[in-house]
Structure 1
Amino acid sequence: MLLDIAQNLKDSADFLGNFELNNVSDLKEFANVLKAYESKGDQYVHTVITELNKAFITPIEREDILQLAMSLDDVLDGIDNFAAMLEIYSIAKFDEYVKEFVKNIQSCAAEILLTINLLSEKKLSQISAHAIKIKEYESQCDILYRRALKQLFSTCKDPIQVIQYKEIYEILEEVADYCQTVANNLETVIMKNA
């Protein structure tokens, strides 16, 4: 079940990075597809909770499974929120900072899927290296966030645009933080079960 959530997250991140936004009219489709991924993720999390309530014995502690599922869902929620804000603000073109954020988020999603695969195969000792990579991508997003804000405040004279882009950058940085939370939860699982 965690693999389903992680695969859905990777598919969502891939769509986020690969969809060609050409104009404002594309934003509705973009937001709707990402909302569908988010809704699918919610269904998976609901299934995890239902199954945890029925299971007598779980392969790892039930709290860890739930924490992992919820943190994966937070990443999906953040991506959905990003798409919704683009539509609300009618921003149909990614600037260089947004593109770089999205690349890092895609890389995090790929690493997350790898780690959940390793978890399902009980290869706990191999997870740590991938969790560290996720944290490195998140760290790159922290640096990127500061650079993006500095550039925004020093060059943009339109206060509305400043507000819009500041919020967009914050949402993307938050998505990266959620990815780091997934990595932290995976390290907790390793610590308890290795």
Structure 2
Amino acid sequence: MLFGKLLPTEGNFFVMFNQHADRIVEAAHAFSSLVANYNDPILRDKYNQEVDNAERGADRVTHECNVAIHKTFITPIDREQIHSLINTMDDVADLIQDTAETMALYDVRVMNEEIVRLTDLSVKCCERLRDAVYMLEKISDHATAEAALKTCEEIDKLESDADRVMRSAMSKLFREEPDVREVLKLKAIYQLLETITDKCEDVANLIEGIVLENS
């Protein structure tokens, strides 16, 4: 019993989840601004830096949370759920940064309608992810638990929308783009953007499991 009393209980896991979700949305908004201002080199660099800053902030929260898992004797939800959730959330932030970096590395010159649409869906997924994460601390309340599950369903729908946009974009790309290099570049960007929504759906699935097990 003395050993248990010497170790912290609960921890600030929900606070850390919220902080990480905020960094994800910051990265998503910065990336959206990057796409919207892509033709301006100065603004492009500015928003690329903002994406990087948000991703590094997310990494710091992930590290803090993973350390806290090992130092906390009693956690508010299952340790494996905490570990899976924070690390899958971190994958979302990483993918946003990867997409911005890939645009620069592949020297993508123009943002087309498909990139804009996939970016918009990615941002919406990230915003709804944040909404669902914010509810976790209060899922013992039935109404909050139901709202969290509904938000997860909305993320699933947005992911399906992104999947349809990507399939259409790929079809158009292979039919209409004569430059093989452009095909390869844009294909990679489309896939990364769609993967952001996939990973948001993974987070939503984890949240659904937490809600159903703990509400």
Give the drift of 1:22: 1.9
Matching residue within 110, 115, 118 for 2:135: 118
Residue aligning to 2:152: 131
Q: Taking structure 1 as the reference length, what is the TM-score of the superposition? A: 0.94
Matching residue within 41, 52, 55 for 2:72: 55
Query: How many pairs are equivalent?
Result: 194
Structure 2 residue 160 is matched with structure 1 residue 143: no
**Where do 4+ consecutive residues of structure 1 move more than 6 Å?**
none
CA offset digits 1:81-100 (Å, max 9, x no partner): 00001111222432111111
Consecutive unaligned residues of structure 1, counting only runs of 5 or more, are none
Residue aligning to 1:13: 28
The CA RMSD over aligned residues, in Å, is: 1.4
Residue pairs, 1:1-194, within 5 angstroms: 1-19=16-34, 20-24=37-41, 26-122=43-139, 123-194=144-215
8 Å contact from structure 1 (residues 24, 91) kept in 2: no
Higher RCO (CA-CA < 8 Å; seq separation 6+): 1
Q: Distance in 2 between matches of 1:189 and 1:92?
A: 43
Q: Distance in 1 between matches of 2:201 and 2:43?
A: 30
Give the drift of 1:146: 0.5
Q: Which moved more, 1:15-24 or 1:48-57?
A: 15-24
Q: Distance in 1 between matches of 2:170 and 2:43?
A: 26
Q: Taking structure 2 as the reference length, what is the TM-score of the superposition? A: 0.86
- Aligned residue type for 1:2: F
